[in-house]
Amino acid sequence: MRDCVAAIDALLARDEVTEELFSQYVGLNERFHALLIEFADSPVLARQLKRALNLPFASPNAFVRVQAELPEARMVMTVAQDHHRCVVRAIENREGARAEAIMREHARLAMRNLEFALRNQRTRHMVPGSVLIKSRAGAAAMM
């Protein structure tokens, strides 16, 4: 896990956020999360996460193109990476409740990232399935 965190740190040290950077980030991010599941050694957790990743908007790969276009991209990746570091530290210190709380916040960050993408008119159409979501402006216009 430390090696994966270090590899993500190396990516984030780059100056420019590009689609290529995000593609590499997504691969390393998937590896990090796979290691978390592996280390947890919980079939229940593995099953639940597999189910969640099959939901619309839940796959990390779904947002690669969108994230590269968002003005908030660097901030989201920086905060997510800090979560990764903190959860590794919590696991090393055998602080299970802290690790869980960090990963819950990590999931909330993913939700904020989706909100950023849907709010941005330049990127909204790039979110898979976004046509299924009514915008507040569109809903207000219908009233």
Average pLDDT over residues 23-50: 89
- When mean pLDDT is compared across 20-24, 103-107, 137-141, the lowest value belongs to 137-141
Q: Could you give the angle at the alpha carbon of 102 between the alpha carbons of 49 and 12, nearest 5°?
A: 90
Tokens of 134: 């009514």
Average pLDDT over residues 40-57: 82
Give dist(CA 124, CA 20) in Å, integer. Answer: 20
Residues 6+ apart with CB under 8 A from 33: 49, 60
Structural domain range at position 104: 2-142
* pLDDT of 56 strictly over 70: no
Q: At what angle do helices 2-12 and 19-40 cross, to 10 degrees?
A: 160
Question: Mean pLDDT over all residues of the chain?
Answer: 82
Query: Could you read off the pLDDT of 90-108 as tens digits, one per residue?
Result: 999 999 999 999 999 998 9
Give dist(CA 10, CA 7) in Å, integer. Answer: 5
What percent of the chain is modeled with pLDDT above 90? 37
pLDDT of residue 83: 97
Give dist(CA 7, CA 63) in Å, integer. Answer: 20
Q: How many domains does the chain have?
A: 1
